Structure 1
């Protein structure tokens, strides 16, 4: 139902135009330091005797009691979306650590160890949110896809939280959804002097869109399953293909 609704909405939205579908985005290797705010030094999380190097960072989203995965999450307002940290550690063999009860990464079920058993590290969570509420593709002499400016904003109280509840309310623009809409998230993991993050503001779709790829964790919450309910997923986005 969602694609049809978005098509109808697109026809009635000023300053937007359909484009070719972007190439499938890889959920891959997190980037190091991707313009994420560096958290103030916090007490390390994990086991002091554990060894190994953190080589990859993921966010896995679970709707209710479902399996947590690195795919975009869609939920109703009466459902809870939980974001779980997941890290991959190399120490002769690769081990995944996460507190998700059930975990799927890159389309495959994964058996994870608790994060408390991982080598010591710190966790910090950010929103990835647009800085402007309204953007037009029609300003100027010719049609163009206006680039959306995003900014990572730290989530209060998230330091060393192995899981958080997704809150899609924006902090840089006016919240018109009251708890429904779309928000993106980023996780930063610090191990010693190294900071690894999940994809953030640099993960651009490129030609045909001003927004971000699906490599950036996205959560969309709607009021209900009605036609208008699905349209409420659009709150918090400057234009439809954000």
Structure 2
């Protein structure tokens, strides 16, 4: 991993998530540390992954210019509370709350044309979730989120607004104080350790800093092969071919 660029590392993280064939992908500010040109390349990879898998997605960011390129809906968080939620084009063109207008004034985003497909069944429901860390100071307060398959919702807010905490709650890394997480009609166990392997496969998270998530002693091909072994039991030639496909999809040379 230390021999490739930041953009290539982030595309490798997307490939790891794709290898699991998840139903839900959570992107936690995956382009924050990248230059503008590399951001465009990584965003293209992300959109391709969502389209190919027909996954639901949550995209966490403070950058509304990015939101306009990837999201179908936007929800704005501040101090752990929902400020506003709506369709991407409507939100960017006509925000209703002062805080949302302030975020937009920092960096105007241009929306691309979005095809309004008929919304399907809800895949993820976050119901009245509140969460805190060891000091018990509330970070999330009574947050509700619904995501349908094939759609992307952007969670937007300044640093400290609770965006990444919401991702940690959904993935089970931080059990909520109150509230529940429903996934595909089933309530998920609050703790990561209580979820079975199939639950873990179906919800994947891509973090902001891939260099701390990848083993520096392994080659990218080895890293991509691990979820294939863990979730699908792939070995030998079958695994090698699938890794090659993933490398080709993210445009990394073997």
Q: Determine if the TM-score, normalized by the shorter chain, exceeds 0.5.
A: no
What interval of TM-score do these two structures reach, taking the shorter chain for normalisation?
under 0.3
Task: Tell me which protein shows more helix as a share of its residues.
Answer: 2
Greater strand content: 1
